[in-house]
Structure 1
């Protein structure tokens, strides 16, 4: 069992972006990753530094922040079908036709992103989550090696936290299936945690190799990963604003 002070729930929190401000945070996180870091999207198309596309009006959005600093570190969206189509279908054709009922009970997971800035925060397996990376390096002779080897784990931890929020939302909204278009390496990481992924089409070339899969929401909920950590619910961003307003009023 993960120590409570090192858990995702104690170090991070996930929010449902239900206000214009929180959606801007989401779009800016995507801009930082997809435009600044990876160069997947042209910066000139997003002069306000918010990356979005035609699917966002048909999506719900999540963002995650570090509890102690309040810094926003990652994002994810859940896209509903639009006119019997999902985003992944523009890049690869499903092997089997998606029925009208399946469209109504499914979403596509996309735009998962975690900032490089997330590596500033201590890997949960070794240090308290409020200790910075500099302290890890200075405090241990091999801290730098430890830190570099756990950067990926830190990003994966944030990814699992976002997936957990997405599956809770899905269960509450009668969503039965997830479609997802991912790299082979990410698919391997998901499968390694015991999640069943069923390939629904041939691999395609989209920013490198991508493979379409479908996952069952009920099966995701039953995974033992959620018994170890990631047990906190997501919050609405509007509730965060209300809480902040109440604190100012009481001050």
Structure 2
């Protein structure tokens, strides 16, 4: 029997848009925990209120992944939008990474370009060997911690964050995505048909990462060909304007997972 991954994810988690001040505080608290305490990518002394906030947050849309049973927030990400008054304003990737593949970037209108940023999962949902110091919770051999059914849903947390980014992109007419990517996440996404293009050498940006870019329609077309069930998950079964066929529609994701919409 084939598991419906939408229903499987939705049984244990929900995607929450951080549109209130209270939810944004949850975002900043989780980022502080992951970036300053768990991984030491940022100096916790610079954040005396235990909130990891930066200058790009006001021009970003934030999402959280909430564990239903505990009410804890498992993961978060944001999409940094182009500057409203200044589309030429540089993104973090452009400030901190070297870009040497300008040919890929040449046709991109910056008004339709965003950056996936602060893509991270709490250590409580990375109880797997070799995952403690990865941000995206990608790795083999889960240890006993949650129920076996819950553990099988853990790889979907990262996919859920990508689904949130795709939704935000659709709502804000973003067609291209910047992202700084660690090796494990690049490999995980490539296996699904999500092929970010490296546009510069590996650098040290919250750990060893590459600057990358992807066109969202290319992302979704490749996933639709390779993993149609993943395409359904990423697009909320085509509700963001995509036109791929849906084999087995599921109402669960619409009624329960995409809260606040």
TM-fit CA distance, 1:225:
4.3
Q: Which structure is larger by alpha-carbon Rg, 1 or 2?
A: 1
Number of equivalent positions: 214
Query: 1:20 and 1:2 mapped to 2: Cα distance?
Result: 36
1:78 paired residue number: 79
Q: TM-score, normalised by structure 1?
A: 0.75
Name the residue aligned to 2:54: 53
- Does the CA contact (< 8 Å) of 2:34 and 2:122 recur in 1? yes
TM-aligned CA deviation for residue 229 of structure 1: 4.3
1:92 to 75, 94, 97: 97
Which structure has the highest helix share of the two?
1
Deviation for aligned residue 1:202 = 2.0
Aligned counterparts, 1:1-251, within 5 A? 1-3=2-4, 7-82=8-83, 83=86, 84=88, 85-94=90-99, 95-96=101-102, 98=105, 102-119=109-126, 133=145, 155-222=154-221, 223=223, 224-227=228-231, 229=233, 231=236, 232=253, 234-236=258-260
Partner Cα distance (1:134, 1:173) in 2: 36
* CA contact 1:58–1:81 (8 Å) conserved in 2: yes
Which range is displaced more, 57-66 or 166-175? Answer: 166-175
CA contact (8 A) 2:5 2:229 kept: no
Unaligned stretches of 5+ residues in structure 2: 128-143, 237-252
Q: Which of structure 1's runs of 4+ aligned residues deviate more than 6 A?
A: none
Corresponding residue SS for 1:15: strand
Does the 8 A contact of 2:9 with 2:153 survive in 1?
A: no
